[in-house]
């Protein structure tokens, strides 16, 4: 069975600690492509009871299936030690929250570094304006990527 290129990216750039920002970006891309990212932001529908409509049952079943796939993607993209710590978590959103608690400060540091690079960017004498504009654009893109 051949893995899609995007799944290969996740498997080759596993979260090991110091690459949290890149890992999270890659994971969100993967979940967005496969249309599973919504399980991280929307609450789980109530478990159906006997009086529930078929539409409510289908919504619950669908959400649970998407959450299970998202959990598998997360587990497949983290180190073995982290897998052991997160294997028994019931929801993908809980896994993301737990991992963010462990490594989230890296995201804040990366955001601060991106803003610092932008603020300290000065055009050097003799440099073409075009090159400076491209540098500014790259700093702005980096800040946007970091959520600044």
**Quick one: average pLDDT of 62-90?**
85
How many structural domains does the chain have? 1
Alpha-carbon distance 33 to 133, whole Å?
31
Span of 25-29, 53-57, 66-70, 102-106 with lowest mean pLDDT: 102-106
Alpha-carbon distance 136 to 55, whole Å?
50
For residue 97, give its domain range: 5-146
With a cut of 50, say whether residue 100 has pLDDT above it.
yes
Token pair of 68 as six digits: 């299970």
**Quick one: average pLDDT of 105-117?**
74
No. of H helices and E strands in the chain? 6, 0
> Which residue is it, tokens 């540091």?
109
- Over residues 23-39, the pLDDT tens digits come to 888 888 888 877 888 88
Mean pLDDT of the chain: 81
Among residues 67, 84, 69, 78, which one has the least CA distance to residue 103?
Answer: 78
């Amino acid at each position: 069975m051949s893995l899609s290129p995007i799944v290969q990216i996740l498997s080759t750039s596993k979260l090991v600690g110091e690459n949290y920002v890149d890992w999270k970006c890659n994971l969100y891309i993967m979940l967005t492509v496969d249309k599973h990212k919504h399980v991280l932001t929307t609450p789980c529908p109530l478990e159906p009871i006997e009086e529930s409509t078929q539409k409510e049952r289908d919504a619950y079943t669908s959400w649970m299936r998407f959450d299970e796939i998202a959990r598998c993607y997360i587990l497949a993209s983290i180190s073995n030690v982290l897998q052991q710590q997160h294997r028994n978590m019931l929801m993908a959103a809980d896994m993301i929250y737990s991992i963010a608690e462990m490594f989230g400060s890296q995201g804040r540091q990366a955001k601060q570094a991106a803003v610092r690079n932008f603020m300290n960017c000065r055009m050097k004498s003799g440099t073409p304006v075009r090159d400076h504009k491209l540098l500014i654009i790259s700093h702005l893109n980096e800040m946007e990527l970091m959520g600044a």
